[in-house]
Amino acid sequence: VPLQQQVGFTDSVHICRKKKKAKEKAQILEQIVSSKKQEEEKKRGLDKRTPAQVAYEKMQEKRQMERILKKASKTHKQRVEDFNRHLDTLTEHYDIPKVSWTK
């Protein structure tokens, strides 16, 4: 007796689950789209922020984009080289002392 029949699974139940997943994905996508539309409508509506607050948020976004572009511009190899250069400039006070098991 196959395991699916022992547990009580049938082909129709399995097919229904796939349909539910597809419906759930469609509903989630609709919710995301509708929430984005609502956010846009709110932005177009009453904006109760002061001009200083608006300017502050714009500058924050600009700085964040600059940081992202700066991090994305370096390759992993370049980051490792920069990090090694930084470690070379540090003092060796915190290095682990050499341990010898033969002495």
> Do residue 42 and residue 78 come from a single domain?
no
> Do residue 14 and residue 25 come from a single domain?
yes
Please say if the pLDDT value at position 17 is more than 80. no
> Do residue 3 and residue 41 come from a single domain?
yes
Please say if the pLDDT value at position 14 is more than 70. no
| The residue count for the chain | 103
Taking only the tens place, the pLDDT of each residue in 20-60 is 777 788 888 888 888 888 887 777 677 788 999 999 999 99
Distance CA 3, CA 9 (A): 9
Would residue 16 count as lying in a domain? yes
> Do residue 15 and residue 37 come from a single domain?
yes
* Domain count within the chain: 2
Supply the mean pLDDT for the chain: 79
Would residue 14 count as lying in a domain? yes
Distance CA 74, CA 21 (A): 40
> Domain range for residue 75?
49-82
> Do residue 53 and residue 42 come from a single domain?
no
The burial class, CB within 10 Å (0-12 / 13-18 / 19+), for 86 is exposed
Q: Can you read off the two tokens belonging to residue 32?
A: 């995301």
Would residue 102 count as lying in a domain? no
Place of tokens 């470690």: 87
Count of CA atoms in the C-beta half-sphere (13 A) of 38: 6
> Do residue 44 and residue 6 come from a single domain?
yes
> Do residue 11 and residue 43 come from a single domain?
yes
